Amino acid sequence: MRISILSDIHSNYEALVKALSLADQLRTDEIYCLGDIVGYGGSPNECVHLIQKRASKCVIGNHDLAAVDTSHARCFTKHGTVAAEWTHKILTKENLDYLSSLPYTSELELLTLVHANPAKPQDWGYISSLEDALPQFAHFKTPLCFIGHSHIPFVCGEDLKTLYFKKDLRFIINVGSVGQPRDGNPQLSFGILDTETRTYENIRSDYDVASAAQTIIDHGLPRFLADRLFLGV
């Protein structure tokens, strides 16, 4: 089975449509989502609707939670809070209900899905270094754990030396961000896992950044949120 794993879409409909079309072209059987469907971007209803339709598994992200209950946006940046409050107002009841129904983690036979980290999913702590990653391996049972949250793709083996995916070692894999990459590369990012060959590939692709940025501006959201899409920061 080939699984496309998407994270951190952040209401970027243009990037999501492109990622799903690539996933289809690359013979994907299932689509999983690691949360942060909304927040920052200008198309929250469109993105929630499409993820609900296409993703067979999905977990909640901190921006999804903040869209449901804006008191969770208090710790966000100024622009993040503005976007969370706007998202809360514009989301339909059906889409708010879907976001609030999402679990923090989802455990399957081969892999665990969680937005931020498997140890304390509700605290939203980042895994940004090998030191952060090491204690996390005790907090999931499956061979693989897929995460998002930092918007920076990486592969980290349990030996903390193997930074590419191979058989017979446990891994934490960050698939990067579909809708707001922050590794200096503005191309959308997601991952494809082939469970038969046990191979993993990080997919990067151009998409219509100008249109996604214009939607942010048209809705009166902070211009910074549009500008950063061109830079991948």
Which chain residues interact with Zn ion by CB under 5 A?
8, 36
List of residues 6+ apart from 172 with CB closer than 8 A? 127, 133, 136, 137, 144, 145, 147, 156
Residue listed under structure tokens 């339909």: 92
Between 14 and 36, CB nearer to Zn ion: 36
Nearer to Zn ion, 11 or 157 (CB): 11
Looking at the Cβ atoms of 8 and 14, the one nearer to Zn ion is 8
* Minimum distance, C-beta of residue 8 to Zn ion, in the bound complex (Å): 4
| β strands within the chain, DSSP E | 2-6, 30-33, 57-58, 105-107, 111-114, 144-147, 154-157, 171-174, 188-194, 199-205
Rounded distance between C-alpha atoms, residue 2 and residue 24, angstroms: 10
Q: Least distance to Zn ion from the beta carbon of 178, Å?
A: 10
Task: Considering the complex, state which of residue 157 and residue 181 has its C-beta at the smaller distance from Zn ion.
Answer: 181
Q: Which is nearer to Zn ion, 148 or 157 (CB)?
A: 148
Q: Which residue number has the CB closest to Zn ion?
A: 36
Say if CB 47 and CB 12 are below 8 A apart. Answer: yes
Q: Smallest distance, Å, CB 40 to Zn ion? A: 8
CB of 147 to Zn ion, least distance (A): 11
Taking the complex as a whole, the smallest distance from the CB of residue 118 to Zn ion amounts, in Å, to 17
Between residues 87 and 157, which has the closer beta carbon with respect to Zn ion?
A: 87
Question: What is the spatial distance between Cα 9 and Cα 52, in angstroms, rounded to a whole number?
Answer: 13
CB of 10 to Zn ion, least distance (A): 6
- Measured in whole angstroms, the distance separating CA 119 from the mean position of its chain's CA atoms is 18
**Cβ neighbours of residue 130 closer than 8 Å, sequence gap 6 or more:** 156, 160
Report d(CA 87, CA 74) in Å as an integer.
15
